[in-house]
Amino acid sequence: MKAEEQQIKMKAEEVNEDKPMEKIVASKKQEKKESRTGIAYIFSSFNNTIVHITDLAGNTISRVSGGMVTKHDRLKANPTTAMFVAKRAAERARDVGINNLYIRIKGKTRATGTGPGAHAVVKTLGKEGFKIVSIVDVTRIPRGGPKKKGGRRGRRV
């Protein structure tokens, strides 16, 4: 068993004559970066897109909306504008040192769904170099709701 280990070390030293095996392992450990995790809250309706990035404690790091990127009201929910919103929010998060993100997407209600900018934001955050840990849809779901108009036998036409 020890003879095999010695042969492996000899081969490793032949390949890396400058660095013995112990030094290679030590240098790889030093290269490992500190990873910080954050939460990206994406609110996407058919009128606007808002990206809010916090750390795990809930402290706000950046919050950018469609109105901060474009002056046209009709373009605030556009996927292209959402892409620029995500880029601007990602810049600030990267400066703080965040490189992992949990993503929580929210729309108006389940009936209307999320707006057109939600997927563009997720795609852009992935391209910006963040490791996306999970994506969760936290849109509220109406369960029952108020009583329908018309009485017990329904509306008579």
Domain membership of residue 85 as a residue range? 36-127
What pLDDT is attached to residue 111?
77
CATH code of 85's domain: 3.30.420.80
What pLDDT is attached to residue 133?
94
Per-residue pLDDT of the chain (157 residues; tens, 9 = 90+): 677 666 666 666 665 555 555 555 555 554 556 789 999 999 999 999 999 999 999 999 999 999 999 999 888 889 999 999 999 999 999 999 999 999 999 998 877 888 899 999 999 999 999 999 999 999 998 888 888 888 888 888 7
- Whether 47 is in a domain gets the answer yes
Encoded tokens for 155 = 């509306």
Dist CA 55 CA 98 (whole Å): 8
Nearest partner of 38 among 20, 73, 62, judged by Cα: 62
- Whether 18 is in a domain gets the answer no
- Whether 91 is in a domain gets the answer yes
- Whether 154 is in a domain gets the answer no
Encoded tokens for 131 = 């490791």
Residues 129-151 as b/e (b if ≥16 CB within 10 A, e otherwise) read: ebeeeeeeeebeeeeeeeeeeee
What pLDDT is attached to residue 121?
94
What pLDDT is attached to residue 63?
95
Q: How open is the CA angle 152-153-157, to the nearest 5 degrees?
A: 130
CB 78 within 8 A of CB 85: no
What pLDDT is attached to residue 24?
55
Question: 123 burial class (0-12, 13-18, 19+ CB within 10 angstroms)?
Answer: middle
- Whether 67 is in a domain gets the answer yes
Q: Domains in the chain: how many in total?
A: 1
